[in-house]
Chains A and B, each alone.
Chain A
Amino acid sequence: MTDEAKPPAAEPERTVPPEKDVAPRPNRPFRIFIEELTTASTFMVTVLAVVLALLVGSILVIISNDSAREAWGYFFAAPLDAFEMSWYAVRDAYVALFQGAIYDPAKPSAWGSISETLTYAAPLTFTGLSVALAFRAGLFNIGAQGQAVFGAIFGVLAGFLLHLPPVLHMLVALVCALIGGALWGFIPGILKAKTGAHEVITTIMLNNIAGIFLIWLVVQKGFQNPERTDAISKSAEENARLPRLLGFLEGDLRVNLAIVLAVLAAAGVSWLLNRSTFGFELRAVGGNPDAAKTAGMNVAMTYALVMAVAGGLAGLGGASMSLGLLPFALTPGVIANIGFDGITVALLGRAKPWGVLAGALLMGGLQAGAVKMNAVGGVPTDMVYVLQALIVIFIAAPALIKTVFRLRDGKASRSTATLAKGW
C-alpha cells in the first residue's frame, strides 16, 4: 500500500478521449492497483475463491470440533463460550495448516514444511501441465490419472529391471516414464483424431484400465517383492531413484529432484505454447479447429500429438511419485490422486504453465498442511479435499465471487469460457 505515498507521477495528459461505453481507465499506479483489486480479474477471482473456501472451511472445522460443538450446545447459558471455542478450533486448524505448509518450529529443520509442500507440489505440477496443455488445444484430458499410472509403472520397471550406473539409470527411468505416459495419452489422441471418439469418455475408461492393470501387475511373480507379503512390487534400484535435494539437513526431508524437473517442465511447456510452431498450431486448433483446418493445419495430427505430450507430462508426474518417494516401488495406490488433482491445478492456473506451477504449490501446501492439521487437531484430511472442491466451485463460478465481494466486471468470465471449450 506504499503506492499511495508516492508523489503523483508526471503523467502525460490524456490525448484520446475515453470511449463512452468503457469506464475511464485510471493510470495512476495506486488507482490501477485499487482498480485491479475491485475488478473481477482472473487473479482476484482466484485469490478470493481461496479466501471464500477457507471461510466456508472454517464452518466445517467448527462443526467437526468436539469442544466447539459442545459449547454451541449450551449457547444460551454461556454464549461467549461458543464463540471462544469456535475461534480456538478455527485458529488451531489454520495455524496447523500454515505450520504444515510453510514453517513449523517443532520440526527439526526450518525447511521441514517447505520440503513437504514442494514434495506434494511436484507431481501435481506435471499432471496440471498435462491437463492444461490439452485444455489449450481444446481437449479435456481426464486421463492424466491413467497416464501417470503408466509413467509410474514404466519408471519403476526400468528402475529394477535394468542395471545402469548412477545418473544414467535415473535418466533412462525418467525417459521410460515419459514414454509410458505418452503411449497411454496417444491412444485417446489417435482415437479422437481417426474416429472422433470423445477424449473425455476414452480417457476415463483408460484410467480404469490403467488402475486395474497396476493392481494386477503388482501381485505377479517376477514383479511382486518376494520379501513382502502384501501388494507391492520390487523397489527401483538406488541409482534410478530421484535424489533428495536437502538430504544433508536434519529431519529426513523428502523434497527431491522432481520439483526441479517440474519447474523445468513448466518452462518447457511455456516455451512450447508461446514460442514454437507446434504450440501455435495447438492454440489455433484449440481456438477454432475448423479455421485451423482451413488454414492448412493437420488438426487430427495435432490432437494425437497433444495427447501424447500431455500423457508424457503426466507420466513424469507418476514417476516423480514412484521414483521420488518411499517405497520407490509400485503399490495399488502409488500415485494417489494426482491425475484428478491435476485437473484442479490446471483450473487454478487458468491453463497457463506458470499459473499451473503456482496452483500446484498452493495445492501442495494445502496437502502438506492437511497432514499437520490431522496430526495436531484431528481435523480430518478430507477437509483439504473439501477446500479443494470449494476453490474449484468458486473459480468456476466467477459471478458468485463477483457478487459476494461486490467486484466490477472483469476478464474472469472470459477465461472460464476458454476452459470450458474442451466440451
Chain B
Amino acid sequence: MDPRLLPPIPTPPAQRWREVRLLYLPRAMFVAAIVLVAWMWGDAVAPATLVAEAEISGADSRATQAGVVAGLKVALHQKVRAGEVLGHIAAANPRLLDATLAVIRADVAMLGATMAGATDRQRVVLELARMQLDWMGQRVERAALQGRLQQTEADLARTAPLHRAGLVTDEAYTQLKITRDSLVAQQDETNRMIARLEPILSGQNAPSATAAELSGESALAAAIKVQEAKLRLAEEQLSPVPLVSPIDGVVSLVLRREGEAVVAGEAVLRVTATKPARLTGYVRQPLAFDPKPGMTAEIRTRSTPAKVAVTTITQVGAALETISPSVLAAMRLPPTPAPETALRVEFALPVSLGLRPGEHVDVVVR
C-alpha cells in the first residue's frame, strides 16, 4: 500500500460541527458581543450633556373669601376645563350668620311693635309696612334655614363615609338625614311664602311725602330699608362662592376636603396641565460649552424603549440658578448631593416624544 496514493478520509458532519463549535464559535461569540455592545452603546451608554425636565404648568384654585369648603365636585386626577366650577365655599360661620339674622329679626319685630296707635290712613300704610316686614321676616327665616341646611349638608357629607365604615350608628346617620330633609321642607315652604308676598308688595306705591312727614312714615320706611339692606348683605354672605378652575388640566392635589374651613386666598385644589409647557435643563459648572439659542440638541427619553428626537435651544438663562431638586435627583449623583447653581437652558418641546409633565430626559447638545 502506497500512502501517497491514498486520499484523505472524509470528515463526518458531526466532526466538522465539533471543529466549528470548539474553534470558531468562541470567536464568533466574541465578535457578536462586540457588535452588540457597539450597537447598544449609543442608546444606553453615551453620556448626556445634561438632564432636562418637562416642566409642569399648574395653578391653584383658591378661596376668594373665608368660609367652609362645600360641594367639591371633583376628585384627584379628574380632568377639568378652565372656568369650570369645582366646588363652593360656604361663605361664613353659620353661627355668626345666625346671630346676624337674629339681630335683623329683632329689629324687624321692634319695627312692628312701633306701629301701634296709628290713624286709619296711617293704618293702611302701616299694614303695607307690616306686610313688608313679614316678607322680610320670611326672608330672614329663609336665610337662617339656608345656613342651617348648608351646615347639615356638610355634616351629612362628612358622616356618610364614617357611616359606611361602621364608625357612626345607623340611628345617628338617619337622624342627620331627617334633619336635612326637614330643613329642605321648611326652606321650600318659606320660599313659597316669600314668592306669594313678593308680587303683592311690588304692586303697592310708597306713601306720599306729605303723608309720610305727617305720620312719621318716612322714618319707618328708612328703618325698613336699613333692615332690608342688612338682610340682603346676610343673604349675599350666605350664598356660596364658587371655586373655579383657572386652567385646563387635571386635579393633581386636593389640599382641603369638604367641611374644612379656609381663609381668604387659601388654595383648595391644584390643577395641573396635561401637557408640559417647556423643557428645562441646567448646564452644570464648570460650563463645558456656551449654550446659545438655536443650537441643536438630541433629546432621549428614559422610558422603555427610549425615544429620541432632535430639538433646539430656545432660551438661555442670564444668570446661574439653583438646580431644581427634581432635576438634581434625576442626575443620578451620589446620595444627598449638595445644592448647586447652573445655567438654565430651555428647549423647544418635541411633540413626537409625547412627554408627560415632570418627565426627565437626557439631552446631548451638538
Do these two chains interact? Answer: no
Q: Which A residues are within 8 Å of any B CB, using their own CB? A: none
**Chain B positions near chain A (C-beta within 8 angstroms):** none
